[in-house]
Chain A
Amino acid sequence: MLDLTWLLIAVPLASSFVLLLAGKRANPWGHWLGVAASGTAFVVGLLAFIQMLGLDEHDRSHAVHLFSWIPGGELNLDAGLLVDPLSMTFVLLVTFVGTLIHLYSVAYMEHDPDRRRFFAYLNLFVAAMLLLVLADSYLLLFVGWEGVGLASYLLIGFWNHKPEYATAANKAFVVNRIGDIGLILAMGLMFAYLGGLDFQTVFAAAPEATTAQLTAIGLMLLVAACGKSAQFPLQSWLGDAMAGPTPVSALIHAATMVTAGVYLIVRSAPVFEGAPAAQTTVAAIGAFTLILGAVIGMAKDDIKKALAASTMSQIGYMMLAAGLGPIGYAFAIFHLVTHGFFKAGMFLGAGSVMHGMSDQVDMRRFGALRTAMVTTWVTFGLGWLAILGVPPFSGFWSKDKIIEAAFVGEGAQPWILGGAALIGAGLTAFYMSRLFFMTFHGKARWTDGQHPHESPALMTVPMIILAVGSAFLGLFLAMGDRFSTWLEPVTGHAEHHEPVLPVPVIMVATLLLVAVGAWIAWRKYGAADVPETAPAASLATIAARNDMFQDSVNRGVFERPGTHLTRTLVYADAAIVDGAVDKTAHGFARTGESVRKTQNGQVRSYALTMLVGLVIVILVVVQGGL
């Protein structure tokens, strides 16, 4: 079965093509084909996983050769898959959560005329994501990386009849291109310094490379990871990406694609091992983003945007862990898995609420939904307890370990990183409880004519399964360090380090902060009345509501100078180059005479451009040469 892992990619990809090409006649059965393709991928993944469990720990890394891609010369590259515990973890997460979300979408998108196209894109996403995690070289990983970006772009803009949704898709595209540049540059550097792009060559050559070279590669990889995983300073697109249908937010913008950056960092561990500066930067970015996301989350009234801010913050935790080196890798991936379950579950819950409330997203118009939607309330509640880190739910086992690991080290670093992780836990408790209480508790603040109702079974069953995962998966994987041991062949064995504070102290402090956060939220949003419109607020709240003015900063720093540059060039082009042609186009029907006149003038100026160019070039070259 391990040799058949290519099926994981081929099946959803083929299904996606069938759905796109079959056209309208596939409408009656298209969505079920999509579910079946994702389900098949999960079964293949599960069988491969069982076979892998039967192998000895050191034989669990399995290479699958596909074909020679770019042979010969200095660059010899085969397209192949690497199946090892790390990629297998992702395969299971992506296909399992993916299949559940496919199932959910059958009901959620029922009334959409383009449901078949939606499933084609979802399948395309699954195929690309699996290619990303299974690739055995950075180049092939890049193919998957672009593929998930494309699927994400198509799905964010799925309802592109609304202009602002199309804009959101474009924004995601632009920001992700910046991340892509980072990955391309990292590949260029690897090729130049380490002599290859496949993991084996790169990782074998990494120990011999200088620290400066590895730091450069590491920082470029970090840029790539920041773009994909919505980490500071490239986080601005994630909130807008919520324009996509909610199952998309659950699968792509919470559980899987946005965690690709964390995968990239953990996969590139041998590079980061030799670049402590890059590693520290990763941790610092993670710590900063986890606070930033939490602060933004506290002020958002749009349920999906609040969850998006929370995703950003939770990925910040993962980044922080990934930046801690071998002691953090396993926990980063562990938190990634549990987060995949509880965040996807909560997004599906949000979708269920929207489904019952005529697509209302403003939490100030929710309230008291616990009686109207019992299943949603319970499943969402389990996810809420998990993200808060309340024992014994999943989030506790993964997040607490990250906080502990953040306190390991010397000097000021553990205090800063650990402190950030600790404060983040308190903030998380506040904004997630705020979200939970505003939606499900308090008084009903529904707009007129709302009749909230529970969603159909096709939607609730995936939510229930994910809620069970949110509740118990963490405990199951944490027992006997099961998960860390499983990943050890990839992440390496971590020496045990004592945190600067005793472990029980950290744990008690975390739980105390969580309790305080949740209690404040209850006082303000559960027990008290919530105004139906956002009240006037302090400067800090306004800043948070506006995503810390990220968009304004972007506009000021990148967009405006860029626009001015373009305008100037356009003007120059229009005045000098285009002028004649435009005039010609307008006037050519009138007389040939005027055309001839403009032509004469123009060719002269063209020739002048060339001549000036030539003279400058000659002067520079001759001056430089002599």
Chain B
Amino acid sequence: MSFTTPEIAWAPLAPVIIVLGAAAVAILLESFLRSPETRRKVQLGVSLVALIAAAGTAIAQWAALEGAGTVVLDGMLTVDRQSLAWQVLIAVFGTLGALLFAARTRAGEEAFTPLGSVAPGSTEETLARRKGLQVTEVFPLALFAVGGMMLFTSVTDLIFLFVALEVFSLPLYILVALARRRRFLSHEGALKYFLLGAFSSAILLFGAAFLYGATGSTSYAGIAAGVASVTGVDALVLAGAVMVVVGLLFKIGAVPFHSWTPDAYQGAPTPVTAFMAAATKAAATAALLRVAYEAFHGLEWELSWLFWAVAIASMVLGTVVALVQTELKRMLAYSSVAHAGFILVAFAGFPDGALSALPFYLASYGVATLGAFAVITQVREKAEDGTVLGEATRLGQWAGLGKRSPWLAGAMALFLLSFAGIPLTAGFVGKFVAFAAAISEGGWPLVLIAVIASAAAAFFYVRLIVLMFLTDVPDGQEDAIEIDHSPLARVVVIVAVAAVLLLGIVPGPVLAAFENAGVLLLGAAG
């Protein structure tokens, strides 16, 4: 029995290697740096350098890419402009996320628990807090997640798809559980996320097995060829394809596979929610695009039912339930469910336009999401004796925020308007290009529903804006809220505001760049 070492073209994988390598180094640093304070600074530095370097490398590769792209690892991975575009996006989200991870309140308090392994409310926890311990492992965990997501966008084989999925999911499960306050809620969210995530991974694997059984291949190209050669339609192929798609829809958070989102979003430390909401959705959308366009293109007609039904259900349920939420993070979670529906609208008929529209849509959604959650970290409850407590996430607590902090409230209003798709914000252009893509392939009724849903969704966004600006602070509540001033969180808010405005007013250059990236190496038609 002979074993030939596979030829691996390492260079195209450079961005992913940088991130995962930095994550490994960061884990080692945990053992060598003793002072929590030094660890925190070094870890933040390592993360930022690695993520910016990865984004830079990806951009350089994108610019230098000749031809369509490179197939790596014998067809397991494909590095083309499309995947590089997504990698840049995820690295940017990771950078902003890392800044939020490191943000601290004025009292020097992080968003994470001082010691993850002790029971909430226990003596050990109090001791750990008093000693100033910090869970700085969150930075390498986030790096692993980013690395896995970047890999996820370029995978062209179902086995590797599963591996990449787990690489980025496992760190996220842990991160969700590390909240400093309301730790039971955090644990609960993490456990639900983990169990349901495991369930959906199983579904995905099951689907991969079906497809392997039907076509004898796990690579996208092999499956596509198998689908084409089957005369008529095979129930095994269809069931397998549906299960793989459902596994990815879970990560996107589409109805009826969304049930983890409100709990995980609410329970997770807000910086984690921000990062997870922006980056996971982007990575999962990228993977879904690739698997749909490369492997299942021949099943477009059969799968269209699935995409239509799930898109409609997500938009309607997400919007309607968000209307009645009184908890801010839950409201944004349901809004993200509705956005999952809008994303799926662009899949109607598998239009070519979606390959350039969806990166833009996710870019606009991601920056606004990161910005909105960054604002949430800045609005704090205050106890009667003046100590600053956790985040004020009940809607009522935001009444009159415009008077307390006009700039912060103004930034939040801008992000909400962008979610609502009001012109001159990034969200409008994003919705516009996504819906235009759907219309070009006759997805017209779906766009009709999407437009109505986004009009209805405007209510709960505007309701919050009205609450912030037109409602007075309730009597007796004047001192119940404290506006925090964390420089790192402020940087994220400012960057997000600038991005939302730029992408909304002069989207040209970014649209053109994604237009350039709107090609898959193993073209859909091929």
Asked whether A157 is an interface residue with its Cβ less than 8 Å from the other chain, the reply is yes
**A621 and B444 contact, CB distance less than 8 A:** no
Q: Which one, A68, A188, A565, A581, contacts B266 given CB within 8 A? A: A581
**B451 and A181 contact, CB distance less than 8 A:** yes
Of A201-209, A296-304, A527-535, A603-611, the one with at least 4 CB within 8 A of chain B: A603-611
Q: Which one, A71, A166, A178, A581, contacts B185 given CB within 8 A? A: A581
**B452 and A181 contact, CB distance less than 8 A:** yes
**Residues of A contacting B: mostly:** helix
How many whole Å from A35's CB to the nearest CB in chain B?
25
Asked whether A502 is an interface residue with its Cβ less than 8 Å from the other chain, the reply is no
Asked whether B134 is an interface residue with its Cβ less than 8 Å from the other chain, the reply is no
Q: Which one, B256, B259, B262, B305, contacts A621 given CB within 8 A? A: B305
A618: chain B residues at CB < 8 Å are 238-239, 242-243
Asked whether A29 is an interface residue with its Cβ less than 8 Å from the other chain, the reply is no
Contact A613-B452, Cβ < 8 Å, known A188-B444, A573-B321: no
**A606 and B243 contact, CB distance less than 8 A:** no
Complex Cα distance A599/B188, Å?
7
Complex Cα distance A607/B195, Å?
9
**A613 and B320 contact, CB distance less than 8 A:** no
Determine the residue in chain B with the shortest Cβ distance to A595: B184
- Write the B468-493 contact mask toward A (1 if CB under 8 angstroms, else 0): 00100000000000000000000000
Complex Cα distance A212/B303, Å?
30
- Write the A131-161 contact mask toward B (1 if CB under 8 angstroms, else 0): 0000000010011001000000000010010
- Write the B283-316 contact mask toward A (1 if CB under 8 angstroms, else 0): 0000000000000000101110110011000000
**A606 and B451 contact, CB distance less than 8 A:** no
- Write the A63-105 contact mask toward B (1 if CB under 8 angstroms, else 0): 0000111111111000000000000000000000000000000
**B256 and A68 contact, CB distance less than 8 A:** no
How many whole Å from A80's CB to the nearest CB in chain B?
14
**A577 and B259 contact, CB distance less than 8 A:** yes
Determine the residue in chain B with the shortest Cβ distance to A181: B455
Q: Which one, A143, A173, A622, contacts B238 given CB within 8 A? A: A622
Residues from 557 to 606 in A contacting B, C-beta threshold 8 Å: 565-566, 569-570, 573, 577-578, 580-581, 584-585, 588, 592, 595, 599, 602-603, 606
A192: chain B residues at CB < 8 Å are 439-440, 444
Contact A185-B515, Cβ < 8 Å, known A569-B321, A618-B239: no
Complex Cα distance A340/B461, Å?
34
**B309 and A620 contact, CB distance less than 8 A:** yes
How many whole Å from A183's CB to the nearest CB in chain B?
10
Pick from B260, B301, B321, B447 the residue with the most CB of A within 10 Å.
B321
Asked whether A625 is an interface residue with its Cβ less than 8 Å from the other chain, the reply is yes
Asked whether A624 is an interface residue with its Cβ less than 8 Å from the other chain, the reply is yes
Complex Cα distance A184/B447, Å?
10
**B511 and A72 contact, CB distance less than 8 A:** yes
How many whole Å from A464's CB to the nearest CB in chain B?
36
Contact A621-B238, Cβ < 8 Å, known A67-B506, A177-B458, A607-B195: yes
Q: Which one, A73, A592, A603, A613, contacts B353 given CB within 8 A? A: A73
Q: Which one, B250, B317, B422, B440, contacts A610 given CB within 8 A? A: B250
**A146 and B422 contact, CB distance less than 8 A:** yes
B452: chain A residues at CB < 8 Å are 181
Complex Cα distance A344/B148, Å?
64
**A606 and B259 contact, CB distance less than 8 A:** yes
Asked whether A612 is an interface residue with its Cβ less than 8 Å from the other chain, the reply is yes
B310: chain A residues at CB < 8 Å are 617
* Contact size range, A: 35 or more
A573: chain B residues at CB < 8 Å are 321, 324
A577: chain B residues at CB < 8 Å are 259, 262
Determine the residue in chain B with the shortest Cβ distance to A570: B324
**B423 and A143 contact, CB distance less than 8 A:** yes
Complex Cα distance A622/B120, Å?
48
B119: chain A residues at CB < 8 Å are 592
Contact A599-B235, Cβ < 8 Å, known A184-B451, A581-B185, A617-B306: no
Complex Cα distance A248/B238, Å?
60
Asked whether B162 is an interface residue with its Cβ less than 8 Å from the other chain, the reply is no
B301: chain A residues at CB < 8 Å are 625
**B511 and A71 contact, CB distance less than 8 A:** yes
B439: chain A residues at CB < 8 Å are 188, 191-192
A613: chain B residues at CB < 8 Å are 246, 255-257
A570: chain B residues at CB < 8 Å are 321, 324
Asked whether A494 is an interface residue with its Cβ less than 8 Å from the other chain, the reply is no
Asked whether B343 is an interface residue with its Cβ less than 8 Å from the other chain, the reply is no
How many whole Å from B198's CB to the nearest CB in chain A?
10
Contact A185-B448, Cβ < 8 Å, known A70-B432, A606-B192, A621-B303: yes
Q: Which one, A75, A595, A610, A622, contacts B200 given CB within 8 A? A: A610
- Write the B436-450 contact mask toward A (1 if CB under 8 angstroms, else 0): 100110001001100
Q: Which one, A160, A585, A603, A617, contacts B242 given CB within 8 A? A: A617
**A173 and B323 contact, CB distance less than 8 A:** no
Asked whether A626 is an interface residue with its Cβ less than 8 Å from the other chain, the reply is yes
Asked whether B221 is an interface residue with its Cβ less than 8 Å from the other chain, the reply is no
How many whole Å from A224's CB to the nearest CB in chain B?
12
Complex Cα distance A355/B432, Å?
47
Asked whether A614 is an interface residue with its Cβ less than 8 Å from the other chain, the reply is yes
Q: Which one, A188, A588, A599, A609, contacts B435 given CB within 8 A? A: A188
Q: Which one, B188, B262, B305, B512, contacts A72 given CB within 8 A? A: B512
Asked whether A273 is an interface residue with its Cβ less than 8 Å from the other chain, the reply is no
How many whole Å from B245's CB to the nearest CB in chain A?
9
**A603 and B196 contact, CB distance less than 8 A:** yes
Asked whether B191 is an interface residue with its Cβ less than 8 Å from the other chain, the reply is yes
B433: chain A residues at CB < 8 Å are 70, 75
Complex Cα distance A620/B305, Å?
8
B459: chain A residues at CB < 8 Å are 174
Determine the residue in chain A with the shortest Cβ distance to B356: A73
- Write the A166-200 contact mask toward B (1 if CB under 8 angstroms, else 0): 10000001100110110011001001100000000
- Write the B497-526 contact mask toward A (1 if CB under 8 angstroms, else 0): 000000000111001100100000000000
- Write the B222-252 contact mask toward A (1 if CB under 8 angstroms, else 0): 0000000000110100110011001000100
**A624 and B302 contact, CB distance less than 8 A:** yes
How many whole Å from B491's CB to the nearest CB in chain A?
21
**A585 and B305 contact, CB distance less than 8 A:** no
Q: Which one, A580, A592, A607, contacts B196 given CB within 8 A? A: A607
Q: 8 A-B contacts, Cβ less than 8 Å apart?
A: A157-B470, A192-B439, A565-B320, A569-B320, A581-B188, A599-B192, A606-B259, A610-B200
Q: B residues within 8 Å of A by Cβ?
A: 119-120, 182, 184-185, 188, 191-192, 195-196, 199-200, 203, 232-233, 235, 238-239, 242-243, 246, 250, 255-257, 259-260, 262-263, 266, 299, 301-303, 305-306, 309-310, 317, 320-321, 323-324, 353, 356, 422-424, 429, 432-433, 435-436, 439-440, 444, 447-448, 451-452, 455, 458-459, 462, 466, 470, 506-508, 511-512, 515
20 new A-B contacts at CB < 8 Å, known A192-B440, A581-B262, A609-B256 = A70-B429, A72-B508, A74-B353, A143-B424, A146-B423, A173-B462, A188-B444, A573-B321, A581-B188, A581-B266, A584-B184, A588-B184, A603-B195, A610-B196, A614-B242, A620-B305, A620-B306, A621-B306, A622-B238, A626-B232
